[in-house]
Amino acid sequence: MNNQKYKFRMKILMVMSAMKDEDKILRGKTLHVYRYALKKGKPIGIREVQRALKFSSPTLASYHLAKLEEGGLLKQTAEGYVVDKVILQNFVRLKKVLIPKYLFYSLFFATATAFEIALFRPSELTKEYVFATAVMIVATLSFAYETIVMLLKNRI
């Protein structure tokens, strides 16, 4: 029984170590290459990456592709490099578009706020109604702020 616990703990440590490595790899231009590969959804070549991301040389594109391949995020095939492991931390992928998860939350709370104001407004305003509406507005603004931060950071 102790041997199983040990193996389980080792697996957890390996997964956590891999997650830390992915965070180290997915920075700067390497992150842009990975996002490009995710959005493309089909094999990509070195020259294609160089042109699309306006790198100064094919060697620079090759370096970032090799870095992603070494990290286990891309793999090289006969057609080019393809995404081997999808990491979308705070994003949802719809076809070729990456959308921050927080956008869905902010849209939900904005819709709920609109319904609350339009349909559930009492004939006489109460403290409870004003408080509930204020909470909904704060939630909407908080998630909208997080959406904007995710878009500006350009992090996966």
User: Is it the case that residue 81 has pLDDT exceeding 50?
Assistant: yes
CB atoms within 10 A of CB 109: 20
Q: Which long-range contacts (CB under 8 A, 24 or more apart) does 11-19 make?
A: 18/72
The domains of the chain are located at 2-83, 91-153
Confidence at 12, pLDDT banded by 50, 70, 90: low
Q: What whole-number distance in Å separates Cα of residue 114 and Cα of residue 133?
A: 9
Q: What whole-number distance in Å separates Cα of residue 155 and Cα of residue 26?
A: 9
User: Is it the case that residue 97 has pLDDT exceeding 50?
Assistant: yes
Mean local confidence (pLDDT), 78-101 = 81
Which of the pair, 9 or 81, is modelled with greater confidence? 81
Instruction: For domain 2-83, give the fold.
Output: Arc Repressor Mutant, subunit A (1.10.10)
Q: Per-residue pLDDT tens for 110-141?
A: 999 999 999 988 989 999 999 999 999 999 99
Q: Give the distance, in angstroms, between the CA of residue 143 and the centroid of all CA atoms in the same chain.
A: 15
Q: Per-residue pLDDT tens for 24-72?
A: 777 888 888 988 988 888 899 999 999 999 999 999 999 999 999 888 8
User: Is it the case that residue 82 has pLDDT exceeding 60?
Assistant: yes
Pair of tokens at residue 48: 């294609």
